[in-house]
């Protein structure tokens, strides 16, 4: 099988993602007897996506008659000691085209880790092995198709302890989750069977637990397992880059990009860069591209220099800049590689007072940056300049959650909560409000568990975010 490998190198740091569409699928979640709530979270997310989803007992893996009728199998508990037959069932399901997710944890000797290693090495023993624990609360960075968020959310999550492994790309195991360049999450595409489903793992359960789930990322795992994105051609590259902090005055971040083909044949792709606002919405026009480069074998093109400006009146919060290496634009079935960096714009200055004076100009190069005064910059057309909405906290919640809204001017504002049917279930605000911060609480006592949407309308602009009620 010919394999071509293309790497995106963001010398500032880059990003990317894929937009996929999944059909209504049959999803089976194996219960989590050792960590309560993992199976319920998967059930809630998959059902909310429109899939036919049920939680099955561990004994479900002792019978293989269900394999032809299932699209996705989620083995949710990393601590349950799975039998040899049950692990072989996971392998048989994957080989029959079922997308399989096996939850692993921070030690290679734990049952979930053993199961993932067993499945990847069932047909060859050179594919994968666990190495060591990665300790401490860290922000993990996603690459590849799972980071290609069809629901337009930046590819990142927080992990506490994780486990590092070694991979053999030629055997189909591709890392797609990193902490400081250490791979801690993996996708496996069996190279000997083009009809096999994908296998995925993530080495920390904290991102799924009910008090802090990454719901959109769970949706992306399910989508990738259904759509069976091709993996074996590409290796993600994750340069070491940290968070960039801008003052309330905003600023300009300049970054550079290289595209590197380390395969033995020419590769043609679609490359572009885009940004996400603090509320998770996509900033509509791409920051750069799309470009359609043809990269000769063993060749690097670039670096290409780009910049993004966060003006003084733009909302405070976390922005994400993302590169995309795909087979199309703006919709694309395959996302070859991705990378990202984030920019945090502060709400208050050191004295605690909002400051809309002179911004900073930050230039990133090879993972480092310098700061220098650059004078007032022209705001990017299209960025919101009327209000900013914080992330609701807690979320998921039970029974209430709180959101703060900062207005830059006096304006009329309406804050409403909708259910999945588009019905208004609560009106938190409706009237005229002065500039400054306003806080509202949503009490869902007596309402059904599930997904709701908080919508803020102010001065002609609209922002929406997803809420998850867990009764």
- Calpha distance 41→27 (Å, rounded): 13
- Calpha distance 467→469 (Å, rounded): 7
- pLDDT of amino acid 248: 82
pTM higher than the cut 0.75: no
pLDDT above 90: residue 101: yes
Share of the chain above pLDDT 70, in %: 74
Report the chain's mean pLDDT, rounded to a whole number.
75
- pLDDT of amino acid 379: 29
Note the pLDDT tens digit of each residue in 323-332.
Answer: 777 778 877 7
Mean pLDDT, range 77-94, rounded to an integer:
94
Note the pLDDT tens digit of each residue in 8-38.
Answer: 444 432 222 222 334 688 999 999 999 888 9
pLDDT above 50: residue 380: no
For residue 246, give the nearest of 358, 323, 322 by alpha carbon.
358
Is the separation of the CB atoms in 127 and 166 below 8 Å?
no
Which range, of 311-320, 338-347, 353-362, 389-398, averages the lowest pLDDT? Answer: 353-362
Domain 244-373 = CATH 3.40.640.10 = no
Strands (E), 219-352: 244-246, 251-261, 267-268, 270-276, 282-291, 294-295, 299-310, 317-326, 335-345
Per CATH, the number for 19-227 is 3.40.50.880
- Calpha distance 160→349 (Å, rounded): 30
- Calpha distance 147→340 (Å, rounded): 10
- pLDDT of amino acid 151: 53
Domain chopping of the chain, boundaries: 19-227, 244-373, 387-469
- pLDDT of amino acid 177: 85
Domains 244-373 and 387-469 share a fold: yes
Q: Which residue has the tokens 């911060």?
A: 437
- pLDDT of amino acid 54: 96
- pLDDT of amino acid 421: 67
What topology does CATH give the domain 387-469?
A: Immunoglobulin-like (2.60.40)
């Amino acid at each position: 099988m010919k394999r071509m490998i293309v790497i995106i190198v963001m010398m500032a740091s880059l990003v990317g993602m894929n937009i996929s569409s999944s059909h209504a699928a049959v999803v089976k979640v194996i219960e989590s007897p050792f960590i309560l709530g993992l199976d319920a979270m998967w059930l809630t997310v998959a059902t909310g996506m429109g899939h036919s989803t049920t939680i099955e007992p561990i004994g479900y893996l002792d019978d293989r008659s269900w394999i032809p009728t299932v699209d996705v199998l989620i083995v949710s508990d990393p601590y349950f000691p799975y039998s040899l037959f049950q692990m072989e069932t996971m392998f048989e399901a994957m080989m029959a085209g079922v997308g399989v997710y096996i939850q692993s944890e921070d030690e290679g000797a734990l049952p979930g880790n053993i199961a993932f290693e067993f499945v990847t090495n069932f047909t060859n023993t050179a594919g994968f092995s666990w190495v060591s624990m990665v300790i401490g609360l860290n922000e993990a960075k996603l690459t590849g198709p799972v980071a290609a968020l069809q629901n337009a959310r930046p590819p990142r999550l927080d992990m506490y302890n994780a486990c590092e492994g070694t991979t053999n790309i030629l055997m189909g195991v591709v890392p797609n989750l990193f902490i400081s360049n250490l791979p801690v999450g993996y996708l496996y595409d069996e190279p000997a069977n083009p009809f096999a489903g994908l296998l995925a793992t993530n080495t920390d359960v904290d991102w799924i637990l009910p008090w802090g789930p990454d719901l959109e990322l769970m949706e992306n795992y399910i989508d990738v397992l259904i759509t069976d994105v091709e993996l074996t051609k590409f290796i993600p590259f994750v340069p070491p880059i940290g968070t960039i902090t801008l003052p309330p005055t905003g600023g300009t971040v300049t970054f550079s990009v290289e595209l590197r083909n380390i395969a033995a044949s020419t590769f043609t792709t679609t490359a572009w860069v885009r940004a996400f606002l603090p509320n998770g919405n996509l900033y509509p026009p791409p920051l750069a591209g799309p470009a359609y480069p043809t990269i000769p074998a063993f060749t690097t093109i670039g670096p290409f220099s780009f910049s993004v400006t966060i003006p003084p009146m733009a909302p405070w919060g976390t922005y994400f800049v993302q590169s995309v290496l795909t087979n199309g634009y703006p919709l694309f079935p395959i996302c070859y590689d991705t990378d990202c960096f984030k920019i945090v714009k502060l709400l208050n200055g050191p004295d605690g007072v909002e400051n809309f004076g002179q911004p900073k100009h930050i230039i990133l190069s090879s993972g480092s940056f310098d700061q220098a005064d650059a004078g007032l910059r022209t705001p990017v057309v299209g960025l919101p300049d009327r209000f900013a909405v914080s992330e609701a906290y807690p979320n998921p919640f039970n029974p209430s959650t709180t959101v703060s809204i900062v207005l830059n001017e006096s304006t009329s504002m309406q804050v409403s909560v909708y259910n999945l049917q588009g019905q208004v279930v609560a009106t938190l605000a409706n009237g005229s409000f002065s500039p400054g911060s306003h806080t509202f609480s949503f009490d869902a006592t007596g309402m059904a568990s599930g997904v709701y949407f908080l919508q803020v309308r102010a001065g002609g602009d609209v922002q929406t975010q997803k809420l998850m009620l867990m009764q």
